[in-house]
Chain A
């Protein structure tokens, strides 16, 4: 009897102890008693994130990378990184009995004979395409709004490194199935390594463990693809986000938004709800693509064999600019002093991407040098306010897009029934001219936008009135309340610590101002 009463009191005591936040609050209290999580947790939950839709583009990259990790772990359970030759036997008849490498056989097997294997493989590939695409779009957002300026140059550098690693890892992963199309890609990569002046042969033999194709390349690419590069990417993403939290996010200028404050939504609950929803959105879109759109059907390509080749082979889109540069470059080479330098490969595939990424790394320093602006910036530029930078960025994108198109010269020629040679020559001119056409046009558009009254603000309707005499008068209606400048008072944040004073709710729900 007394036991029952005792149990009841304990239950009630527990319920009382739990307080306003219930069982969860109690757990947090217990944790706080031991680890002191309340202070750090509160700082974290109260972190203010400025809100703009373009700030979420980087999150696409983050969440598609998570999808890559999860699906990639699934794939490693079935993929065999070996060039050993086996005889394939399986449900796909055209391959039945063919001599293929274990890498190819295991990839076909995981596509056809493993439950959800094909879905996982396709999600992995789609997530990769979206990951690299999102990196580029995010980078463009950061570039055009000037978010890379002091004090965030280090984060820009990390971002460019992440893009390089993502492209490299995408290529390595694309090569792993050892199918006809990706094998051709490896062959090109081998030639690019060979084309590096003086050390090319040593470099190529070092990477491939001998002459092409060899048996070392698949295991080496595998360990790079699933362990080394993902670890580096993961570490850099951690530093990237830590720097973002440490330096606080940039914001667009606007009512109440200054260099010395951060206006936005707190981590909990507003930002967390949005970003969690977005995580599900990103994985949902990738899952839908993986389920309904076929990507890289390697069973239709068959195994790689140095004696076989398919026409009309393109790499994945993020490598296409290199492919385009290789396609349109004239066949020049240098021979002398006992060396051959194949300039038709060295220049488009080694020197050009080196210059391109070098320029990306150097841009913040270059811009500081040219503008003499060494100030700290937390407020973003609108692209039209910096016409030269915007025009330079658009020129670079135009050049890359032209090269991207040049990587499908054969598809264009076939589709429009023009001579391949005509397309090739046209692309040479288009690639060279595109940045010079894009720059002045963008510059002019930016300057025009600067002159447009109320650009970037929402338009208000005009009220047209008819007087008794029949005269029509247009009267502008007042601006929207949110567009009118007013000083925002920093509102104190609610506490989650038991017993502490809870202060009044903010005047504007969801918006909060804190000092930097």
Chain B
């Protein structure tokens, strides 16, 4: 692995202080060109396995294994992607996607070159980019400005500048083991996203977002690319494990089983105490008021 240039790191540090934090740092790490193909877990999410498909010109169009297939964004979309990029992204990330903004605008923004199509796709398709407030500590998930195809197009163009990984993952959930997924979720994800997947506030206005209503491939993208404060899980999670986690998130986290009645927003003791005191004790106090003397 090639070390990132020092200048790029220091620029990234400034950007981190301003906006998207660790994403910029990953720009350095992920920007390195993939080394020779290996079959270790240490660069899971890169084409290290046997199932690599190439097109006529020798370009990798998909790789992966029986649990996750990583697909390159369609090269046919590159031209559309460039137009969309110039419209929506260039004012901050610069016309060369290297984080140097267009003349006349102020700021230092993350370098996008070499981040891999999954990162670009995730930020755009989850509505975080184009940012509503570029000065915000953390961009929240919101209604996407661009369609999934447009996001893929931008990813295709940025990737064409310097081909890199990971590609956009496509998890095969039918092969997943939900029990392993739950154990891995409790070990790796619950510390920030909570065991119920509701997400919660972290320090200094950062937060772990809720995991509800997120398509499976985006969960896999987040795990493999580590957006924002989230760690980038590559070496410690195999494709099979990521597939298990994604399966658990898209089934039992997004559709929790509440055989006990109302789920009370999956909020735990805060909501339960509220119900016990206001509903339970409140009704009983009203009954006492009804059958007792009031003078």
Using a CB–CB cutoff of 8 Å, the interface residues on chain A facing chain B are 51-57, 59-60, 92-98, 111-112, 118, 122, 125-126, 129-130, 133-134, 137, 180-181, 252, 254, 274, 277-278, 281-282, 285-286, 289, 291-297, 299-302, 305, 307-317, 320, 408, 410-411, 413-414, 418-421, 423, 457-458, 482-483
Q: Does B192 lie at the interface of the complex (its beta carbon under 8 Å from any beta carbon of A)?
A: yes
Inter-chain CA distance A129–B276, complex, in Å, is: 6
- Chain A residues in 8 Å Cβ range of B284: 60, 130, 134, 281-282, 285
Say yes or no: B292 contacts A94, CB within 8 Å: no
Inter-chain CA distance A267–B190, complex, in Å, is: 55
Task: Say yes or no: A180-B272 contact (C-beta < 8 A), given A55-B292, A281-B284, A414-B207.
Answer: no
Inter-chain CA distance A482–B295, complex, in Å, is: 10
Of the candidates A56, A97, A130, A307, the one whose C-beta lies within 8 Å of that of B179 is A97
Say yes or no: A297 contacts B275, CB within 8 Å: no
Q: Does B9 lie at the interface of the complex (its beta carbon under 8 Å from any beta carbon of A)?
A: no
Task: Say yes or no: A294-B287 contact (C-beta < 8 A), given A94-B181, A94-B252, A96-B179.
Answer: no
- Chain B residues in 8 Å Cβ range of A313: 268
Q: Does B269 lie at the interface of the complex (its beta carbon under 8 Å from any beta carbon of A)?
A: yes
**Once A and B bind, how many residue pairs between them come within 8 Å at the CB atom?**
204
Of the candidates A299, A408, A413, the one whose C-beta lies within 8 Å of that of B270 is A408
Inter-chain CA distance A151–B269, complex, in Å, is: 39
Inter-chain CA distance A130–B275, complex, in Å, is: 10
Inter-chain CA distance A53–B269, complex, in Å, is: 29
Inter-chain CA distance A56–B264, complex, in Å, is: 29
Which 9 residue pairs are nearest across A and B when measured between Cβ atoms?
A317-B273, A53-B292, A294-B260, A129-B276, A413-B201, A310-B195, A94-B182, A56-B288, A419-B205
Say yes or no: A302 contacts B273, CB within 8 Å: no
Sampled A-B contacts (8; CB under 8 Å) = A60-B284, A60-B285, A94-B252, A295-B272, A300-B266, A314-B269, A320-B269, A408-B270
Q: Does B183 lie at the interface of the complex (its beta carbon under 8 Å from any beta carbon of A)?
A: yes
- Chain A residues in 8 Å Cβ range of B289: 53
Within 8 A of A (CB), among B225-248: 248
- Chain A residues in 8 Å Cβ range of B256: 297, 300
User: What is the minimal beta-carbon distance from B176 to any residue of chain A, in angstroms?
Assistant: 11
Task: Say yes or no: A420-B281 contact (C-beta < 8 A), given A254-B295, A314-B268.
Answer: no
Say yes or no: B200 contacts A414, CB within 8 Å: yes
Say yes or no: A112 contacts B195, CB within 8 Å: no
User: What is the minimal beta-carbon distance from A490 to any residue of chain B, in angstroms?
Assistant: 19
User: What is the minimal beta-carbon distance from B229 to any residue of chain A, in angstroms?
Assistant: 13
**Residues of B contacting A: mostly:** helix
Closest-by-CB residue of A relative to B272 is A295
Of the candidates A59, A95, A134, A305, the one whose C-beta lies within 8 Å of that of B281 is A134
Task: Say yes or no: A414-B260 contact (C-beta < 8 A), given A53-B289, A98-B183.
Answer: no
Inter-chain CA distance A58–B159, complex, in Å, is: 70
Of the candidates A286, A316, A410, the one whose C-beta lies within 8 Å of that of B200 is A410
Closest-by-CB residue of A relative to B140 is A417
**What 11 additional pairs, Cβ within 8 angstroms, besides A93-B178, A292-B261, A302-B195?**
A94-B181, A95-B179, A137-B281, A278-B287, A293-B262, A310-B190, A310-B195, A313-B268, A408-B270, A419-B201, A419-B205
- Chain B residues in 8 Å Cβ range of A126: 276, 280
Task: Say yes or no: A112-B259 contact (C-beta < 8 A), given A129-B280, A285-B280, A308-B187.
Answer: yes
Say yes or no: B281 contacts A133, CB within 8 Å: yes
Say yes or no: B186 contacts A411, CB within 8 Å: no
Within 8 A of A (CB), among B188-219: 190-196, 198-205, 207-208
Closest-by-CB residue of A relative to B205 is A419
Of the candidates B252, B258, B266, B275, the one whose C-beta lies within 8 Å of that of A289 is B275
Say yes or no: B280 contacts A180, CB within 8 Å: no
Inter-chain CA distance A443–B202, complex, in Å, is: 40
- Chain A residues in 8 Å Cβ range of B186: 180, 302, 305, 308, 310
Inter-chain CA distance A423–B261, complex, in Å, is: 32
For B187, B200, B201, the residue with the greatest tally of chain A CB atoms inside 10 Å of its CB is B201
Say yes or no: B275 contacts A293, CB within 8 Å: yes
Q: Does B17 lie at the interface of the complex (its beta carbon under 8 Å from any beta carbon of A)?
A: no
Inter-chain CA distance A293–B275, complex, in Å, is: 9
Task: Say yes or no: A52-B292 contact (C-beta < 8 A), given A129-B273, A300-B195.
Answer: yes
Inter-chain CA distance A471–B218, complex, in Å, is: 79
For B192, B257, B269, the residue with the greatest tally of chain A CB atoms inside 10 Å of its CB is B269
- Chain A residues in 8 Å Cβ range of B207: 413-414
Task: Say yes or no: A411-B260 contact (C-beta < 8 A), given A281-B287, A310-B194, A311-B200.
Answer: no
Inter-chain CA distance A129–B208, complex, in Å, is: 30
Say yes or no: B179 contacts A420, CB within 8 Å: no
- Chain A residues in 8 Å Cβ range of B276: 126, 129-130, 133, 289, 317
Say yes or no: A294 contacts B264, CB within 8 Å: yes
Task: Say yes or no: A312-B200 contact (C-beta < 8 A), given A60-B281, A133-B280.
Answer: yes
Say yes or no: B199 contacts A180, CB within 8 Å: no
- Chain A residues in 8 Å Cβ range of B87: none
Q: Does B283 lie at the interface of the complex (its beta carbon under 8 Å from any beta carbon of A)?
A: yes
- Chain B residues in 8 Å Cβ range of A294: 258-264
User: What is the minimal beta-carbon distance from B192 to any residue of chain A, in angstroms?
Assistant: 6
Inter-chain CA distance A111–B182, complex, in Å, is: 19
- Chain A residues in 8 Å Cβ range of B178: 93-94
Of the candidates B187, B283, B292, the one whose C-beta lies within 8 Å of that of A56 is B292
Closest-by-CB residue of B relative to A307 is B187
- Chain A residues in 8 Å Cβ range of B266: 300
- Chain B residues in 8 Å Cβ range of A410: 200-201
User: What is the minimal beta-carbon distance from B120 to any residue of chain A, in angstroms?
Assistant: 26
Say yes or no: B288 contacts A54, CB within 8 Å: yes
Inter-chain CA distance A180–B190, complex, in Å, is: 10
- Chain B residues in 8 Å Cβ range of A137: 281, 285
Q: Does B294 lie at the interface of the complex (its beta carbon under 8 Å from any beta carbon of A)?
A: yes
Of the candidates B191, B257, B260, B292, the one whose C-beta lies within 8 Å of that of A122 is B260
- Chain A residues in 8 Å Cβ range of B283: 285
Say yes or no: B295 contacts A57, CB within 8 Å: no
For B179, B187, B191, B274, the residue with the greatest tally of chain A CB atoms inside 10 Å of its CB is B179
Inter-chain CA distance A36–B64, complex, in Å, is: 89
Q: Does B56 lie at the interface of the complex (its beta carbon under 8 Å from any beta carbon of A)?
A: no
User: What is the minimal beta-carbon distance from B30 to any residue of chain A, in angstroms?
Assistant: 27
Inter-chain CA distance A423–B284, complex, in Å, is: 34
Inter-chain CA distance A442–B212, complex, in Å, is: 45
